Chain A
C-alpha cells in the first residue's frame, strides 16, 4: 500500500502515554516529525527514554490541560507550524454521578473539555491559515458503553468527540479534516491494568478474543493521518475487535 502524507510536523498531545510514544516511533519511521507534549518531568523522561534511538528527530513541549498558562508559552509557537495533531489527553475521574464532588466535576470538565476546545481553536486557526491539516482524537469504546462510575469520563470523551467532529464539518472545505478513533481494550496503560485485574475475563466478550496491541493502534492512527484517509472526516471509527457491535 502506498501511503502519503501532506505535511511533516505532527503535534502529539499527551505524548508520554505508551501508545503516543509508539505512534511517534511510527511517525519518525514514516519521515514525519512528532512534537510530543508532556505535563511533568516523569512524562518528559518517559518520552526521551522511549525515543532515545531517534534523537534529533522529534521535539517535546510542555502542555498541561490543567494549566492555562501553558497554552501561551512555547506551545503557541509550535502550534503555528503543524500539519497534524493526534490527541491522547484524558484525565481520570471515576465517581457515581450522584456521589460526585462538585469542585472535582467543574475542574474535570474545565480540563478535559474547555481546555481542549481552546487547543483546537488554536490548532484549527493555524491549520486554516495554511488551508491544510488533519486532526485525530483518540477516544475510547468506553465512551459509548461506560460502566457505572465512568459517567464523567464518558461525558468528557463524547464532548471531545463532538468538538472534533464539528471541527471537521466546519473546516473541511478549507482543507482541515478530523477523525475520531475509539479503541477497545488495549494492552497498554490503564487498559493493561484493568485487564490484569479482570484476569482477562473481559476479553471473552470481544469477538476477536484478545486485546489490541499498541502497534496495531499506532499503525491505524498513522493511516488515519495519511492522504489516503482524508475521506474519513468528521466521524468516529470503532477499533474494538467487535466489542460494541453486538449485545
Chain B
C-alpha cells in the first residue's frame, strides 16, 4: 500500500481539501488548518485504514516540547531523549522540529507516514 497516497486521500476526505496540494512537507495544522477534532478523527481513521494502533499523543507529537524541556532541565541529551519517546522520527527530523518549534506546530504529513510505517513494522 502506498502510505502517502492513502494518507493524502484520508486528509482530503476528512478536511474537505479537494484540489489542495498536499505533499510530504505539508504542515497539518499550519497549512491544512487541522483542529483537535480533526486530529482525533484522523487518528481513528488511520487506525481503521492501516490496522495499526494509534496513540494520539505519539503520532501528533503533542508532548514534543514537554519532553525537550524536561531533558534540558535534567541536563540530558535532548535529541536522544526525544528520539526515545518518538522512535519513528529520525534524529535529523527531531533537530529540524526543534529548530523551528518557535514558528508553531511542526507536525508534517511525513511524520504521519513515518509513524504508520514504523507501527506497521512493529505489528
**Which A residues form the contact surface with B (CB < 8 A)?**
125, 128-129, 170-171, 173-174
B14: nearest chain-A partner, CB-CB = A174
Is A171 within 8 A of B37, CB to CB? yes
B38: nearest chain-A partner, CB-CB = A174
B41 at the A interface (CB under 8 A) = yes
Contacts A128-B41, A170-B36, A170-B40 known; list 6 others, CB within 8 Å. A125-B47, A128-B40, A129-B45, A170-B37, A174-B37, A174-B41
B90 at the A interface (CB under 8 A) = no
A131: nearest chain-B partner, CB-CB = B41
B103 to chain A, nearest CB (A): 28
B53 to chain A, nearest CB (A): 12
11 examples of A-B residue contacts, CB within 8 angstroms:
A125-B40, A125-B43, A128-B40, A128-B44, A129-B44, A170-B36, A170-B37, A170-B40, A171-B37, A174-B37, A174-B41
Q: How many residues of B contact A (CB 8 A)?
A: 9
B63 to chain A, nearest CB (A): 18
Taken together as a complex, chains A and B put the C-alpha atoms of A69 and B101 apart, in Å, by 39
Question: Given the complex, which residues of B lie within 8 Å of A125, measured CB to CB?
Answer: 40, 43-44, 47
Question: Given the complex, which residues of A lie within 8 Å of B47, measured CB to CB?
Answer: 125
* A-facing residues in B17-70 (Cβ within 8 Å): 36-37, 40-41, 43-45, 47-48
A172: nearest chain-B partner, CB-CB = B37
A40 to chain B, nearest CB (A): 31
Is B48 within 8 A of A173, CB to CB? no
B86 to chain A, nearest CB (A): 22
Taken together as a complex, chains A and B put the C-alpha atoms of A125 and B44 apart, in Å, by 6
Question: Given the complex, which residues of A lie within 8 Å of B41, measured CB to CB?
Answer: 128, 174
Question: Given the complex, which residues of B lie within 8 Å of A174, measured CB to CB?
Answer: 37, 41
Taken together as a complex, chains A and B put the C-alpha atoms of A170 and B47 apart, in Å, by 20
Taken together as a complex, chains A and B put the C-alpha atoms of A129 and B43 apart, in Å, by 10
Taken together as a complex, chains A and B put the C-alpha atoms of A171 and B37 apart, in Å, by 7
Taken together as a complex, chains A and B put the C-alpha atoms of A173 and B36 apart, in Å, by 12
Question: Given the complex, which residues of A lie within 8 Å of B48, measured CB to CB?
Answer: 129
